[in-house]
Amino acid sequence: MTLDLRCADGNTDRTAGLVTPGADGDTLTVKWDSGIKDSFRKSAGGTLPEGVPTDMPKLPGS
């Protein structure tokens, strides 16, 4: 699966990438065309880890 994103501020670091699920079902990796690699892990108990912001940024025009 691939991701194709467009950032409102014009940033192109993470605009196209390949998504690879982990064999354990709890991890996910995105390898971006820019060379950046992001890894994600499912949180325990379905809750967010401490320190993760929960407020969403405002979109332009909203």
In tens, the pLDDT along 3-34 reads 999 988 999 999 999 999 999 988 999 999 99
Task: Give the neighbor-by-neighbor strand order of the sheet with 27-32.
Answer: 2-4, 16-21, 27-32, 37-41
Number of domains in the chain: 1
Examine residue 15 and state whether it is found in any structural domain, yes or no.
yes
Residue 62: per-residue pLDDT: 67
Examine residue 27 and state whether it is found in any structural domain, yes or no.
yes
Examine residue 57 and state whether it is found in any structural domain, yes or no.
no
Q: Which domain does 19 fall in, by range?
A: 2-42
Contact indicator for 17, 30 with CB cutoff of 8 Å: yes
Examine residue 53 and state whether it is found in any structural domain, yes or no.
no
Which runs of E-coded beta strand occur in 5-57? 16-21, 27-32, 37-41
